[in-house]
Amino acid sequence: MMIDIDTLLAWGAAYKRIEPEEIIFNEGSEGHFYHQLVSGSVRWVTITDAGRELIQYMAEPGECFGELPLFDNGNYAGSAIANCESVIIRLHRDIFRQLLKEQPEMHFLFSHIMTERMRFKFMMLNELAHNSPEHCISVLLSYFKKRKKFICSNCTQIQLTRQQIADMTGLRVETVIRAMKSLENKGCLVIDKGKVFC
């Protein structure tokens, strides 16, 4: 968990219930809050001129999203949209900054998280520029498996749709389907009744 819920509440944070596909904030709008997911799932996306979503990050419970304006006073770099009914807790930007000043270890935590996300972006850009779709998807799934994210720890089922994988990689969904079938033929994945296991 990023910040303990009790700490957030003590600093004046408030819960907010979000409906499926509800937009929490839009790309380009001014950032006023620290957002942390309590339950559900939120995707942080940029939208192309053609209207296609590119998933920049998928937040799981306990994770923050949309934090860039809190540090640089810029606007949101992407839009946050609920994948399902979700609950977030949010704290006003000015109070969040005061919290970081009083608890500097939290600032280091955020620096670590943002660095990890930046490394992920570098990795994916390199994969897309230099490798086949199969290799790119394989690296993406290995990354998530290592971090125990989006892959069931008991049954190894991938908990992402093919469309979500396409939106994370910038590949077309048809390309993802073909690449995953190729990975299955090579013994890298198991596809059973439409469900994918690694």
pTM above 0.85, yes or no: no
Domain spans, the chain: 5-117, 132-197
- Residue 64 pairs in a beta bridge with 36
Q: How confident is the model at residue 23 (pLDDT cuts 50, 70, 90)?
A: very high
CA distance 154 to 152: 6
What are the distances in angstroms from CA 183 to CA 132, 167, 190? 12, 19, 8
Give kind and range of the element (H or E) at residue 195: strand 195-197
Q: Is residue 33 very low, low, confident or very high in pLDDT (cuts 50, 70, 90)?
A: very high
Q: What is the rounded average pLDDT of the residues 163-178?
A: 92
Averaged pLDDT, 37-41: 97
Average pLDDT over residues 112-117: 89
The pLDDT of residue 77 = 92
User: Contact at 8 Å (CB) between 88 and 18?
Assistant: yes
* Residue 152 predicted with pLDDT over 80: yes
In the numeric block, which tokens belong to residue 75?
A: 């606007």
* CATH number for the domain formed by residue range(s) 132-197: 1.10.10.10
Residue 24: what pLDDT?
97
Exposed / middle / buried, residue 192 (Cβ in 10 Å: 0-12, 13-18, 19+): exposed
pLDDT band at residue 1, thresholds of 50, 70 and 90?
Answer: low
Average pLDDT score over the chain:
92
pLDDT digits (tens, 9 = 90+) for 48-82: 888 889 999 999 999 999 999 999 999 999 999 99
CATH class held by domain 5-117: mainly beta
- 74 close to 81: Cβ distance less than 8 angstroms: no
